Copies of this chain bind each other. A is one copy, B any other.
Amino acid sequence: MLIKKINELREYIQPYKSDKETVGLVPTMGALHNGHLSLIKAAKEKCDRVVVSVFVNPIQFGPNEDYNKYPRTLDADYELCTKNGVDVVFSPSPAEMYGEGFILSNDNLTYVCPPFNYTDKLCGKSRIGHFDGVCTVVNKLFNIVQPDFAFFGEKDAQQLIIIKKMVKDLNIPIEIIGCPIVREESGLALSSRNKYLSDKGKKDALVLSKILQNIKQCYLKGITDIDALKETAFSLLNDNVELEYLEIYNSETLEQEEKANNNSRAFIACRVEGVRLIDNIKLGD
């Protein structure tokens, strides 16, 4: 079932709740790939009913980012969902979510703002306001669908950590399930933005996962000095890859720790052919 209106969605899923069926929500921006599919499968396993939202959320894009160009493939997304047993695909328009003539500004919209200590680093540092936009739309989707569980990929690790923090801080009665990164055989983490890359770009992009794997191997061999771990990256970088950040933080709090440990995670962002790509890996087994 494809639904575009908030009220219709609420009506449609009301019987699930009356029947005490559990509902899982998989929030996406569409352009679905096998990474999303793994979220859908996890939701199908855990919940009686699965709702997938497909919404390219304008308020999480900065003015110079790829909102307009972001891939939109609703027909294919819908087909993938129905083939995989999704009960409802919810695909609202920006006007349905933010009102007609919406202006993307905290002058006239209530925002949900995650804490600075979680957003002043990694993607939040270059994407000012990005996580405010993410938390706001996710909060809206939570209020619209009122699921029991919501599924997010570990690929957007900072997002997952921030959403878990939001749920805790605001006492949202939903359990957040993080699902492992899905990779191509080459090691490249799946991302809707990979569509922007040429074949050569996809090869260059392997540097991200290689750097992370290298750091993990060094950690497992006993190196815990964070600067030393980060320095292992430099030999792998080349002119086709512009490093934005490479950091090692606590997996739950994003705090900088003195030494790497089993709960540390390495985070990387690079530009390849102008496309911003991110990846991450937990250091402990």
The copy count of this chain in the complex is: 2
Most buried by B among A110, A113, A172, A173: A110
| B108, A135: Cβ atoms closer than 8 Å | no
- Name A172's contact: one of B106, B109, B143 (CB within 8 Å): B143
| A117, B110: Cβ atoms closer than 8 Å | no
| B115, A165: Cβ atoms closer than 8 Å | no
| A143, B115: Cβ atoms closer than 8 Å | no
Most buried by B among A114, A143, A172: A143
- Whole-angstrom distance between the Cβ of A207 and the nearest chain B Cβ: 34
Q: Which residue of B lies closest to A136 (CB)?
A: B170
A169 within 8 A of B: yes
- Whole-angstrom distance between the Cβ of A129 and the nearest chain B Cβ: 12
**A-side interface residues, number (CB < 8 Å):** 29
Majority secondary structure of chain A interface residues (helix, strand, loop or mixed): mixed
User: Which residues 127-165 in A have Cβ within 8 Å of B in the complex?
Assistant: 135-136, 139-140, 143-144, 146, 165
| A109, B169: Cβ atoms closer than 8 Å | yes
Q: In the assembly, what is the distance between CA of A166 and CA of B110, in Å?
A: 6
For A83-121 the 0/1 string (1 means CB < 8 A from B) is 000000000000000000000011111111111110000
| B171, A140: Cβ atoms closer than 8 Å | yes
A74 within 8 A of B: no
- Whole-angstrom distance between the Cβ of A109 and the nearest chain B Cβ: 6
| A113, B115: Cβ atoms closer than 8 Å | no
A6 within 8 A of B: yes
| B110, A110: Cβ atoms closer than 8 Å | no
Q: Which residues of B contact A139 (CB under 8 A)?
A: 170
| A107, B112: Cβ atoms closer than 8 Å | no
| B116, A107: Cβ atoms closer than 8 Å | yes
| A140, B170: Cβ atoms closer than 8 Å | yes
| B114, A107: Cβ atoms closer than 8 Å | no
